[in-house]
Amino acid sequence: MRSKVTVVGAGNVGATTALRIQSLGYADVVLVDVVEDLPQGKALDMLEAGPVVGSDAVVTGSNGYEESANSDLVVITAGIARRPGMSRDDLLLTNMRITSAVTSEVVKHSPNCIIIAVTNPLDAMVQNVYESSGFPRNRVFGMAGILDTARFRTFIAQELDVSVEDVQAYVLGGHGDDMVPLVRYTTVGGIPISELMAEEKIDQLVQRTRNGGGEIVALLKEGSAYYAPSAAITQMVEAVLLDKKRILPCCVYLEGEFGINGLCVGVPAKLGAGGMEQVVEIRLTEEERASLNQSAASVQELVDVMHQAKAEQSQ
């Protein structure tokens, strides 16, 4: 019996994610969007690709949540996208309202599901979905670290002219300018990157990784990245649905790990059938820990703004 995955938001990220999941064949997909007929049209197009890619998975488009009922996993991509000159922070309150409304519907129709949040600003939206859902922390987490790490690995592979498969790296912290690429844990074929590349070049690649999303936004002029983000989401979906026990950088709600409490931040985590099954607390140097704390502080600022806005709404 195939699993059931709902993707909320039929824009570029959501639709491409739905297509990737459907192509794998082991999960039926419900694509939800508020725009009339848009998810239905995209779902039908994907369904008609099934005979070519060899997938019997069903894709259903909907403008409501009834068809999503009893989903095993829900991916939330709904929200407005970043435009040139717009920071992730600019998106905060609009996307907070959107993700709050979506989460309410998801919880009502799929009370036992696992939620992967993707909407930007990522860490703050994961926090919002976690708090809005009332779910335990193992069932709400976010995609960002895999994407940031993939960008870092891509740039390293290009620079050294090696296979991306041989580049292993970790990017922790918030999905923004304060993200923390862990150079000390970055290897190529098991060889520390510091033995293969000058420190100045490593610093350049770290900075390019931090600007990775903005670089694509500037090139596209309208819209933002979706091929790599959808691939990262699909890796997380696979890890959960196939109980792979993958250790991946994800945005999770921390309860004292890394000295951070009550905040959603990117750290290594084990993903399996139980969702986020374990936070993997690796040793950090004083400098790395300071960078992670700085990144967490940036996330906390956004969360404080959200909490203030919610308090004002409830008055």
pLDDT of residue 84: 63
Contact indicator for 113, 45 with CB cutoff of 8 Å: no
pLDDT of residue 83: 63
pLDDT of residue 176: 82
Which residue numbers are catalytic? Answer: 175
pLDDT of residue 89: 60
pLDDT of residue 177: 84
Inter-CA distances, 43 with 52, 62, 84, Å: 15, 9, 29
Contact indicator for 90, 131 with CB cutoff of 8 Å: no
Other CB atoms within a 10 A radius of the CB of residue 127 amount to 28
Q: What is the pLDDT of residues 163-179, one digit of tens each?
A: 999 999 989 998 888 89
Q: What is the dihedral of CA 259, 261, 264, 268, to 10 degrees?
A: 40
For the question of whether the overall pTM of this predicted structure is more than 0.75, the answer is yes
Three-class SS of residue 40? helix
Tell me the average pLDDT of the chain: 95
- Indicate the length of the chain as a whole number: 315
Q: What is the pLDDT of residues 223-254, one digit of tens each?
A: 889 999 999 999 999 999 999 999 999 999 99
Q: What domains lie within the chain, and their CATH numbers?
A: 3-142 (3.40.50.720), 144-315 (3.90.110.10)
Q: What is the pLDDT along the chain (315 residues), one digit of tens a residue?
A: 899 999 999 999 999 999 999 999 999 999 999 999 999 999 999 999 999 999 999 999 999 999 999 999 999 999 987 666 666 566 799 999 999 999 999 999 999 999 999 999 999 999 999 999 999 999 999 998 999 999 999 999 999 999 999 999 989 998 888 899 999 999 999 999 999 999 999 999 999 999 999 999 899 988 889 999 999 999 999 999 999 999 999 999 999 999 999 999 999 999 999 999 999 999 999 999 999 999 999 999 999 999 998 898 877
> Residue 235 gets which letter from DSSP?
H
pLDDT of residue 87: 62
